[in-house]
Amino acid sequence: MEQVDLFVSCLVDLFEPATGRAAVAVMERRGAQVGFPLGQTCCGQFAYNAGHWPEAWAMAKNLLAALDAPPTPGPDRGERATVGLSGSCVAMVREEYPKLLDWAADQPGWDSSWRVRHARVAGRLWELSQWLNRAALAPVADEDTTTTRVALHTGCHMRRVLGAGADAAAVLAALRVRVATPEDEDQCCGFGGTYAMTEPKISTALADDKLTALRATQADAMVSCDWGCLLHLAGRLSRTGVAWPVLHLAELVDLADRGELAPTQLARAGRFAREVP
């Protein structure tokens, strides 16, 4: 049985824990024994991107310690995989932490063992769709689900920093879910971490363009591997009174596994899109 640790991200933990629960179900269904390193909070990306590196480094150390801690019980973590539920956070740990480590190495109190711990953690860390795509999963659902179409939004860090832009589509194809690709699919949705808060006008203009492109696919739902993008886009749908199911990939895969991909079932699971008054 494959041992997999879950890295849920702060947004899933705090705001969308159903995504984490769906991920556990999906992974267990594929034969994984799922563990949850309890010390995890946030990867620190929001602070890192905004230039507040001492804070980012404090959070990074906490996450590295949590993901590197020996499991109880279970085999040594070196033989385990860690699966993250956000392409952006996984990209942060794998691709940006080395830059943060280089900076930290010049700060007081530096301990070079952080590099070793980072190498261990990053070496076994995957984003969920990467893990699913690697796991050569056969569709669990018996039912032919080809009538369901979802519009896929791939986050920029997932696509460009992590280089995992194609995995989610492959996973959905294996589950016989039809994927609609929006126009300008590689353009940013405008979330950008704290950018969504500090520059709401530009951020919202970008969200509206992205939603127009996604909605133009006339898909049954929108799906992504990042709750950063999704909270921003769904939050905009909610504020403008547009109802359209919004789901994380983990939830869509869970529904597909259970053969519950009818539009009404997607609408029930896809939350945070209020009915048009």
Partner 1 sequence: MAGRLPRDPAPWAARRDRALASPVLRANIRSVTHRLADARRRAYASYPAGQVLRVAGRDAKRRAMAQVEPLLDQLRDRLSANGARVIFAEGPKEVADYVVSLAARRGAQRIVKSKSMLTEELDLNRRLAAAGLAVRETDLGEYIIQLLDERPSHILAPAAHRNRQEIHAVFQETADREGVPGPTSDDVGPLTAFARQRLREDFLAAEIGITGANFLVAETGTVVLITNEGNADMVASLPPVHVVIAGIDKVLDTWDALAAVIQQPALSGVGQRLSAYTTLISGPRAAGSPEGPEELHVLLVDNGRRQLLGGPYADVLTCIRCGACYNVCPVYRQVGGHAYGSTYAGPIGAVETPLLAGLDFLPELPKSLCTLCNACVEACPMDIALPDHFITLRRRQVDEGREAAGTRLTYRAWGRLWSSPRQYQRFVSWARRGQRFMMRQGRLVRSPGLWAGWFETRDMPPIAPETFHEWWARRSPSGKAPV
Q: Which is nearer to partner 1, 74 or 123 (CB)?
A: 74
Q: Which is nearer to partner 1, 138 or 276 (CB)?
A: 276
Q: Which is nearer to partner 1, 74 or 78 (CB)?
A: 74
Instruction: Show the DSSP H helices in 30-146 as ranges.
Output: 45-49, 53-68, 87-91, 97-104, 113-123, 128-134
The per-residue b/e assignment along 181-194, b for 16 or more CB within 10 angstroms, e otherwise, is: bbeebeebbbbbbe
Q: Which is nearer to partner 1, 142 or 275 (CB)?
A: 275
Q: d(Cα 171, Cα 264) in Å, to the nearest integer?
A: 22
Closest approach, Cβ 238 to partner 1, in A, equals 4
Q: d(Cα 236, Cα 174) in Å, to the nearest integer?
A: 31
Q: Which is nearer to partner 1, 174 or 188 (CB)?
A: 188
Q: Which is nearer to partner 1, 5 or 167 (CB)?
A: 5
User: Tokens representing 224?
Assistant: 């992504």
Name every residue whose Cβ is closer than 8 Å to that of residue 88 and which is 6 or more positions away in sequence: 45, 155, 156, 157, 158, 161, 226, 228
Return the amino acid letter for 122.
A
Residue 133: exposure state from Cβ atoms within 10 A (0-12, 13-18, ≥19): buried
Q: Which is nearer to partner 1, 17 or 147 (CB)?
A: 17
Residue 203: exposure state from Cβ atoms within 10 A (0-12, 13-18, ≥19): buried
Q: Which residue, among 1, 16, 47, has the nearest Cα to 193 in the 3D structure?
A: 47
Helix (H) / strand (E) containing 2: strand 2-7
Q: Which is nearer to partner 1, 135 or 211 (CB)?
A: 211
**For residues 130 and 167, is the Cβ–Cβ distance under 8 A?**
yes
Q: Which residue, among 30, 29, 38, has the nearest Cα to 5 in the 3D structure?
A: 38
